[in-house]
């Protein structure tokens, strides 16, 4: 991938994942748990970073900026893979989820706080129960796989831009050397 193609594809992939998550929530009526929302944050961050990076790259199109942007996108998607894998592990009960993922006791509360708490609707969704699975893999599991793929593509894009810039630099150096030697003769 040359130029800004990967950041543009990363934006589209992030928006597609967000669209899918919101479709499951709105159309499928699957309320997100706190870990589901954290996974969405990663895609918002990746899209925002890619847009900002492309705006900066348009102002000064240097390969080093594109390498840095693709590498940072890879790190953001890697974070998404870690969060999604953690969530899948919670669903499979490999480890405990964060306390925000279950409804616990209300602790010390006075009567005024109790009345306010009872009048406010709160939908707490457990991170432990996967509401949907396909071929035994939950949404968090598929998200982990997609995030891993996006991580790999981001790092490959950074590597490709870097190697292309290196080839261009070497070719320019050879051309300069040839020009210098032909002038001196």
Structural contact between residues 34 and 103, judged by C-beta atoms closer than 8 angstroms:
no
β pairing state of 137-138 and 133-134:
antiparallel
Q: Is 30 exposed, middle or buried (0-12, 13-18, 19+ CB in 10 A)?
A: middle
Q: What is the pLDDT of residue 58?
A: 87
pLDDT tens for each residue of 166-182: 887 777 666 665 555 56
User: Residue 165: is its pLDDT beyond 60?
Assistant: yes
pLDDT tens for each residue of 49-91: 999 999 998 898 888 899 999 999 999 999 999 999 998 998 8
CA gap 111, 127 in Å, rounded: 30
CB atoms within 10 A of CB 1: 17
CA gap 63, 135 in Å, rounded: 42
User: Residue 148: is its pLDDT beyond 80?
Assistant: yes
Specify the range with the lowest mean pLDDT, choosing from 20-24, 119-123, 141-145.
Answer: 119-123
Specify the range with the lowest mean pLDDT, choosing from 28-32, 117-121, 148-152, 161-165.
Answer: 117-121
Q: Which helix (H) or strand (E) holds 137?
A: strand 137-138
What is the overall mean pLDDT for the chain?
A: 83
User: Residue 17: is its pLDDT beyond 80?
Assistant: yes
Structural contact between residues 90 and 101, judged by C-beta atoms closer than 8 angstroms:
yes
Helices (H), the chain: 5-26, 34-59, 63-91, 111-119, 139-184
- CATH class as words, domain 5-177: mainly alpha
| Domain segments of the chain as ranges | 5-177
Q: What is the pLDDT of residue 149?
A: 97
């Amino acid at each position: 991938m040359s130029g800004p193609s990967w950041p543009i594809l990363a934006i589209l992939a992030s928006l597609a994942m967000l669209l899918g998550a919101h479709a499951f929530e709105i159309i499928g009526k699957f309320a997100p748990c706190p870990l589901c929302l954290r996974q969405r944050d990663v895609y918002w961050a990746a899209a925002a970073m890619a847009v900002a990076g492309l705006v900066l790259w348009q102002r000064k199109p240097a390969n080093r900026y594109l390498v840095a942007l693709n590498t940072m996108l890879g790190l953001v998607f890697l974070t998404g893979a870690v969060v999604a894998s953690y969530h899948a592990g919670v669903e499979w009960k490999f480890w405990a989820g964060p306390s925000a993922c279950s409804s616990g006791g209300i602790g010390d509360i006075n009567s005024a706080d109790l009345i306010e708490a009872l009048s406010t609707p709160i939908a707490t969704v457990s991170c432990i129960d996967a509401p949907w699975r396909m071929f035994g893999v939950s949404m968090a599991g598929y998200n982990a796989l997609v995030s891993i793929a996006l991580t790999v593509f981001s790092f490959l894009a950074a590597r490709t831009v870097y190697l292309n810039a290196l080839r261009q630099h070497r070719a320019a150096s050879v051309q300069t050397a040839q020009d210098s030697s032909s002038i001196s003769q």
